[in-house]
Amino acid sequence: MEHQPIQAVLFDLDDTLWPIAPVIARAELVLHDWLTIHAPRVAQQCSIASLRERRMALLLAQPEYRIDLSALRHTVLREAFLAAGEDPAQVDAAMAVFLQARNAVTLFEDVLPLFARLQGRVALGAVTNGVADLEAIGLARYFQTTLAAHRFGVAKPAPEIFLAACAALGVAPNACVHVGDDLDIDVAGARHAGLQAVWLNRGGLTLPSPLPAHVAAHASFHNLHDLHDWLAPRLAAR
């Protein structure tokens, strides 16, 4: 099917709009410091690394947790509280501490300039498998819709979540571009759903050529400035 002029742009969040690894590392440290004060037996028995290992093991055993990584973290914390003889009623407070730190992200420098240039010219949405809170981060005002796997019940690369975002914006899939950093989750998922797909290759990875058709993006860029230059002449008149 021939692609229409672009009427909407969807964005992945983690590692597309901000680097996620340093955020998670800091949030886990903040959480462990909190545990040292409020649940010291948990902090003594469980290191950041051992909690991470337990999450990975549980994820392998129960892959349905991939849809809600906060639920995975909550389950492992509850296990740790019970094993240490600490009050599991405190787990919700521990999760609140973690999530507050998890939303203390540092945007890539090209994010706000792009949104300022696109706002009012094209519909914008977010599709994420993570648990970022765009209100807390301060980006919610730019998006007309946000679909998160843990609320929607289906995660990328399943086509349903992409199609639901298109429907929420009132655009046909082939008139919508999805921008993300992951070839399998973002590019292949978007293509399978009938969207145009842009790979944001911030790290400058060199891949074999040609790529398999299902992960071959319609375009790829190292930054959002170049994305804007590609988008601008393709946007539908409003």
- The CATH code for residues 21-102 is 1.20.120.1600
How much is the pTM? 0.93
Residue 2: pLDDT over 60: no
Query: Cα(58)–Cα(40) distance, rounded to whole angstroms?
Result: 24
Query: Cα(86)–Cα(120) distance, rounded to whole angstroms?
Result: 51
> What percent of the chain has a predicted confidence (pLDDT) above 90?
90
CATH 1.20.120.1600 maps onto the chain at 21-102
CATH 3.40.50.1000 maps onto the chain at 8-19+106-234
Q: What's the mean pLDDT in 176-205?
A: 94
The tens digit of pLDDT for each residue in 169-190 reads: 999 999 999 999 999 999 999 9
Q: How far apart are the first and last CA of the chain?
A: 23
The tens digit of pLDDT for each residue in 86-127 reads: 999 999 999 999 999 999 999 999 999 999 999 999 999 999
User: How many CB atoms are located within 10 Å of the residue 233 CB?
Assistant: 8
Query: Cα(135)–Cα(84) distance, rounded to whole angstroms?
Result: 35
Estimate to the nearest angstrom the gap between the alpha carbon of 179 and the chain centroid.
11
Q: What tokens were used for 112?
A: 């706000």
The tens digit of pLDDT for each residue in 23-42 reads: 999 999 999 999 999 999 99
Does the domain made of 8-19+106-234 have the CATH classification 3.60.20.10?
no
Residue 1: pLDDT over 50: no
Q: 238 falls in which pLDDT band (50, 70, 90)? A: low
Task: Give me the pLDDT at residue 203, please.
Answer: 87
Query: Cα(37)–Cα(60) distance, rounded to whole angstroms?
Result: 31
The tens digit of pLDDT for each residue in 117-159 reads: 999 999 999 999 999 999 999 999 999 999 999 999 999 999 9
Q: Using an 8 Å Cβ cutoff, are 26 and 104 in contact? A: yes
Q: DSSP string of the chain? A: -PPPPB-EEEE--BTTTB--HHHHHHHHHHHHHHHHHH-HHHHHH--HHHHHHHHHHHHHH-GGGGG-HHHHHHHHHHHHHHHHT--GGGHHHHHHHHHHHHT-----TTHHHHHHHHTTTSEEEEEESS---HHHHT-GGG-SEEEEHHHHS--TTSHHHHHHHHHHHT--GGGEEEEES-IIIIIIHHHHTT-EEEEE-TT-----SSPPGGG--SEEESSHHHHHHHHGGGBPP-
| 172 against 215, higher pLDDT | 172
User: How many CB atoms are located within 10 Å of the residue 127 CB?
Assistant: 29
Mean pLDDT is lowest, of 66-80, 143-157, 213-227, for: 213-227
